[in-house]
Structure 1
């Protein structure tokens, strides 16, 4: 198991096959969540779980197959009654609770509770899911009728669900610790998105629209930009098409942070160029090659914005790096 102050990762690939089920059952299932984890017959047990704990929410990513995760009557005695947002990303999941079963297709979701008997079956290979544990007392004011939503399917085209998937996934990609005030803000955004996806009170939805949803959408857009920073096809149009929004709305989101889409992209590309020019392993690459590699197509524009950003030319930066190494 790999662990730092922010992220915990546990993978079956790190242990002998004979010990995998027992280790997951004890270290992740029983200790962390009060759940029983078991292998399914005739399906290889493969599981990699990544978890981030925040004050008021726990985000877990699961990748694998052949697993049964169950809240048994033995564990119900602990009195926990968290709500869980189950988001299925790839491969079908079977979610059972209250004597009913539903099959979650890709990118669909449902709300569950660990205060009742039930669980999840992942019978196929290459399964991926995201789960967010939410203390009922904390999110209850936003969703006073949450019990009525348990096991109600949430369709893949739900905008709040799509944002929640991107937002929660991005938080698991950040290994660095988060400042306490930032953690509180993040948890508020998660609550807002869950309430909007499940169907909270009208007041809660209005709060989410004004506070959490725009911030979460902008976070997802920034994550998308950073993932495609080197692409020649990165543009407002391509980003808007992927996120189902208009260019005008995207510009408004960036304007809320006193910046623009273009400035954000250029700033990140310039920072990447700066790191590469200072890297001794890249000393054999020309400055123009590094600029093109980082997404700049116009060399004169690149030189101009680089000098304006850092107060020196790319050649000055490279020469400075060489002198430092000497």
Structure 2
């Protein structure tokens, strides 16, 4: 058992990601959502083979599953109690906004997304064995908000508070029984109402891939390898999932980039922005290549497209 009453980790960006993954045996990729940087602090922690507890504060950031195969034999589920700030969590075709006082859980071995503002959260990482018998339908309830407005929701929040307010000096056997009790209470609370409608696994994974592409359109180095890393899949898996959509991953990315440029060209507030600057903001790095692609897609060169959209006089070349 490892226990600490002092902050056990206070770092930024990659250093925090490495520290968190090492301490909690997670397989997460974290990145800032605004200027690309973020800060994190694990204020308290309890670490044992099948149960991990962490009181964590973050600046705005995005978390997803890293590429490669996570350890499916340890700490498969994250149960999180939001103390401050808000988060948006996605898994299995379900998406929920999580507010202070609400609880959610995810399977940390399957693709997921968590996007936050400034938050503080109390997290319990539970081994799969805790859920096996008590919550067989758990995968239908991941990324579902559990609030204090129900009796069982209040009971879960109260138990969270009690667990995190205690000194964590019990022996491992007692702590494991606390983990079992938490898992059982979460199971009862979740199944007391119907699950949110989710998508089929392949559909939800494709949605995750598309979302990752859209988040990274401004990166001129965007590639299948980058997307695979962000969604926690191999390149082969990404191509396999996307193959049934009628297009390729990079053609989809190109269409999304061109659509963003077209939208900005139609925006009167951006009328003074050079076309090339808008194109570069959306990941194009060569003006002639961009113009050819745009004309092929929309039937007009970008300057003429803007002029027609904004009813501007067309500057003819002499």
TM-score under structure 2 normalisation?
Answer: 0.51
Q: Distance in 2 between matches of 1:200 and 1:52?
A: 30
Q: Distance in 2 between matches of 1:176 and 1:78?
A: 26
Q: In structure 2, do the counterparts of structure 1 residues 180 and 99 end up closer, same or farther at CA, with 3 Å as the change threshold?
A: closer
How many pairs align?
A: 190
Q: In structure 2, do the counterparts of structure 1 residues 30 and 188 end up closer, same or farther at CA, with 3 Å as the change threshold?
A: closer
- Number of the residue aligned with 1:67: 61
State the SS of the aligned residue for 1:195: helix
Q: In structure 2, do the counterparts of structure 1 residues 199 and 8 end up closer, same or farther at CA, with 3 Å as the change threshold?
A: farther
- Number of the residue aligned with 1:10: 8
State the SS of the aligned residue for 2:131: helix
Contact 2:46 2:168 in 1 (8 A): no
Q: Does 1:146 align with 2:138?
A: yes
Contact 1:71 1:117 in 2 (8 A): yes
**Which gives a bigger RCO, structure 1 or 2 (Cα 8 Å, sep 6+)?**
2
Which blocks of at least 5 consecutive residues in structure 2 are unaligned? Answer: 194-318
- Number of the residue aligned with 1:198: 190
Contact 1:30 1:36 in 2 (8 A): no
Contact 1:93 1:103 in 2 (8 A): yes
Q: Distance in 2 between matches of 1:162 and 1:62?
A: 21
State the SS of the aligned residue for 1:121: strand
- Number of the residue aligned with 2:223: none
Contact 1:63 1:128 in 2 (8 A): yes
Contact 1:144 1:200 in 2 (8 A): no
CA-to-partner distance for each residue in 1:228-267, whole Å, 9 max, x for gaps?
xxxxxxxxxxxxxxxxxxxxxxxxxxxxxxxxxxxxxxxx
Structure 1 residue 141: Cα displacement: 0.5
- Number of the residue aligned with 1:257: none
CA-to-partner distance for each residue in 1:173-193, whole Å, 9 max, x for gaps?
444521344324322321222
Q: Does 1:91 align with 2:85?
A: yes
TM-score under structure 1 normalisation?
Answer: 0.50
Which blocks of at least 5 consecutive residues in structure 1 are unaligned? Answer: 202-326
Structure 1 residue 158: Cα displacement: 2.8
- Number of the residue aligned with 1:53: 47
Q: Does 1:103 align with 2:103?
A: no
- Number of the residue aligned with 2:124: 132
- Number of the residue aligned with 2:241: none
Structure 1 residue 68: Cα displacement: 1.8
- Number of the residue aligned with 1:120: 114
Q: Distance in 1 between matches of 2:160 and 2:36?
A: 28
Q: Distance in 2 between matches of 1:186 and 1:52?
A: 13
Q: In structure 2, do the counterparts of structure 1 residues 73 and 180 end up closer, same or farther at CA, with 3 Å as the change threshold?
A: closer
CA-to-partner distance for each residue in 1:32-81, whole Å, 9 max, x for gaps?
3121122222387232223223563322222232222221332x343357
Q: Which has the higher helix share?
A: 1
Contact 1:53 1:59 in 2 (8 A): yes
Counterpart pick for 1:185 among 170, 177, 184: 177
Q: Distance in 1 between matches of 2:21 and 2:172?
A: 27
- Number of the residue aligned with 2:17: 25
Structure 1 residue 147: Cα displacement: 1.0
Report the aligned-residue RMSD. 3.0
Q: Does 1:42 align with 2:35?
A: yes
Structure 1 residue 143: Cα displacement: 0.6
